A and B are shown apart, each in its own frame.
Chain A
Amino acid sequence: MIAILEQGLLLSLAAIGVYISFRVVDLPDLTPDGSYVLGGAVAVSLLYAGHGWVFSTLMAILSGAIAGCVVAFITTRFRINSLLGSIMVMTGLYSINIRIMGAPNLPVPRFDTGSITGYESMMGGTSLDDLLGKTTSSYQGAGVKAVKVPFDNLANGHDLLLIAGIVAIAVVLMWFFLRTEFGMMFRGYGRNRAAVRNLGVNPDLYAYVGLIIGNAFTALSGALFSMYSGFADVNMGVGTVVICLASVILGEILFSQYEPLYGVLFPVVGALLYQFLLSLAMRYGYKIGFKPSDMKLVTALFVVSVIAIRRFRKSEVII
């Protein structure tokens, strides 16, 4: 149960990002599929390079923000639909992520491997030493130094407390931001760009802020998930947008008419519920022939059906 909560809360950070871009500023953005990996890739690479986890996480957030900024630039400068602009950036990020990691995936070194991969150091020499004479160990130093990550992966509540703390800070910060006069206009921009312009304000500013914050949240989620799970993989972001959208929709359905903290709680509660349903499907789904890999299909079908139902009812439409 603790693991479900932990993973649900990690997902909720990305879901907050998707909520901001899709719902608050109404700029459908597919970049999270790439910026989620970007966050993980930057964080793990920096951990490798010997930096602390806090610095690595902050840099991951910054990298996500830059990705969002690029999408906003393409969208506003060239007047390209945000969906199309974000597909370009997402595709480009695939190559960038591999460049950053130097490989399609990168594990987080939890143990100091410098001493154990060296066969000579374990055995005191090799059997070839007698034939070739004493050689200097070619393995020594080839190992990786262990890095310190904030998660211990034990079901003792430590990880949960840390993740919950980070999510709580993120939610409170977003709530404060959306309360300010800038935040009000930010929310208003999502529903009426012309009115923003009529008030003498450049609407593009809010496109930038929305996409930057959205992707920064996604990258934060990716960075923490990589540290939590012990790896960053170039394919780990596939389906992030759809899963996060499903989480947002689940939250909206749960809260119905209410909009707690300007709706920032939708993605958090929705992501927890999504993770819970995912666990149920993985635990008991085999009885009806359900495989864990089917979950993405079910998620996509869920999002499409909610859009269809809402269109049918002529109420608010998602994209």
Chain B
Amino acid sequence: MIELNNVTVIYNKGTADERIALKDLSLNVEDGEFLIVVGPNGAGKSTLLKVITGEVRPFSGSCKVYGKVVKSERFFSIASIVSQDPNQGIFPNLTVEENLILARKKGVRGFGFGKIYARSLDLLAFTDMGLEKDLKRKAAKLSGGQKQALAMVMAVSSNPKLLLLDEHTAALDPKSTEKIMELTDKINKEFGTTIIMITHDMNIPEQYGTSVLVMGDGTIYTKIDKSKESIDARQLKEIIRSTVLMNVE
């Protein structure tokens, strides 16, 4: 479980550029939850992820991941992160096969190499992008969608408990977005991986995720649990829009 208690983050404190990125924010993310975070630019979505990874230290409040206060060095053995740039999560000068071999995280135990590799190939095949048949190809020569699929598979190959996705479909075309979202959903449902995903695509919260977090101005406007609240896609979209608009006004 991820617990943020009264977290406040201030950038450039004490300077003319001082900016409050998160204001007294409290949030609980349960194991196995697929949380989709939406909100306008500057809402504090990316800062939220950075607090969880330990990249940004809160000015006040605390962040605990699986019962332990976050330290960036420990983060990488329990969690993976995929950003919007498809080149960030892969080694472009290595082949697809070499990328998969390296994807085994250090410090992860009880998960043999053969098993990791076989699962990686299965996940690649699931994306239906032909990557599993093109293992000797240099990653730099793949399309944006293929690169992101490879980055996703690498990120989950060691079975992390937590997967953080920072607008990982932002640079993709609609078809690739669909494939990557199907893969994301499969990872959550089949492996029980907790996922926190940031997006600007308002269609995604309708189809995917177990809950939706609407953020703005460094605070949480509302959190919608899709399993408890029986609302259809149109209603959900309307709630998100009206919440953001109301708070902005």
A-to-B contact residues, CB < 8 Å: 181, 184-185, 187-188, 190-192, 194-195, 197-201
A184-B91, A190-B93 known; 8 other A-B pairs, CB under 8 Å? A188-B102, A191-B92, A192-B90, A195-B91, A197-B76, A200-B105, A200-B106, A200-B108
**Distance (Å) between the CB of B157 and the closest chain A CB?**
10
Q: Could you tell me if B91 and A192 are in contact, using CB atoms closer than 8 angstroms?
A: yes
Q: Which of B76, B87, B104 contacts A192 (CB 8 A)?
A: B87
Complex Cα spacing A198 to B99, Å: 13
**Distance (Å) between the CB of B202 and the closest chain A CB?**
29
Q: Could you tell me if B94 and A199 are in contact, using CB atoms closer than 8 angstroms?
A: no
Given contacts A184-B94, A199-B106, A200-B76, contact A192 B101 (CB under 8 A): no
Complex Cα spacing A194 to B80, Å: 12
Q: Which of B80, B90, B94, B107 contacts A187 (CB 8 A)?
A: B94
Complex Cα spacing A275 to B106, Å: 44
**A interface: dominant SS:** helix
**Distance (Å) between the CB of B80 and the closest chain A CB?**
7
* B74-127 at interface with A (beta carbon < 8 Å): 76-77, 80-81, 87-94, 98-99, 101-108
B side interface size, CB within 8 A: 23
**Distance (Å) between the CB of B106 and the closest chain A CB?**
4
Residue numbers in A under 8 Å from B106 (CB-CB): 199-201
Residue numbers in B under 8 Å from A192 (CB-CB): 87-88, 90-92
B-to-A contact residues, CB < 8 Å: 76-77, 80-81, 87-94, 98-99, 101-108, 155
Q: Could you tell me if A195 and B89 are in contact, using CB atoms closer than 8 angstroms?
A: yes
**Distance (Å) between the CB of B56 and the closest chain A CB?**
16
**Distance (Å) between the CB of B72 and the closest chain A CB?**
9
Q: Could you tell me if A188 and B94 are in contact, using CB atoms closer than 8 angstroms?
A: yes
Closest-by-CB residue of B relative to A184 is B98
Given contacts A184-B98, A184-B101, A184-B102, contact A198 B81 (CB under 8 A): yes
Q: Which of A188, A197, A201 contacts B91 (CB 8 A)?
A: A188
Complex Cα spacing A185 to B18, Å: 39
Q: Could you tell me if B93 and A200 are in contact, using CB atoms closer than 8 angstroms?
A: no
Given contacts A199-B106, A200-B76, A200-B106, contact A187 B89 (CB under 8 A): no
Residue numbers in A under 8 Å from B99 (CB-CB): 188
Closest-by-CB residue of B relative to A191 is B93
Closest-by-CB residue of B relative to A185 is B102
Q: Could you tell me if B102 and A199 are in contact, using CB atoms closer than 8 angstroms?
A: yes
Residue numbers in A under 8 Å from B103 (CB-CB): 199
Residue numbers in B under 8 Å from A194 (CB-CB): 88
Q: Could you tell me if A199 and B90 are in contact, using CB atoms closer than 8 angstroms?
A: no
Residue numbers in A under 8 Å from B155 (CB-CB): 198
Complex Cα spacing A190 to B94, Å: 11
Q: Could you tell me if A181 and B102 are in contact, using CB atoms closer than 8 angstroms?
A: yes
Complex Cα spacing A191 to B90, Å: 9
Complex Cα spacing A199 to B107, Å: 10
Complex Cα spacing A191 to B99, Å: 13
Q: Could you tell me if B91 and A187 are in contact, using CB atoms closer than 8 angstroms?
A: yes
Complex Cα spacing A194 to B89, Å: 8
Residue numbers in B under 8 Å from A201 (CB-CB): 106
Complex Cα spacing A187 to B99, Å: 11
**Distance (Å) between the CB of A188 and the closest chain B CB?**
3
**Distance (Å) between the CB of A89 and the closest chain B CB?**
27
Complex Cα spacing A181 to B94, Å: 12
Complex Cα spacing A181 to B90, Å: 15
**Distance (Å) between the CB of B116 and the closest chain A CB?**
12
Q: List 17 A-B contacts (CB under 8 A).
A: A181-B101, A184-B94, A184-B101, A187-B93, A187-B94, A188-B91, A188-B94, A188-B99, A191-B91, A192-B87, A192-B92, A198-B76, A198-B80, A199-B76, A199-B103, A200-B76, A200-B105
Complex Cα spacing A199 to B89, Å: 9
Closest-by-CB residue of B relative to A189 is B91
Complex Cα spacing A195 to B86, Å: 11
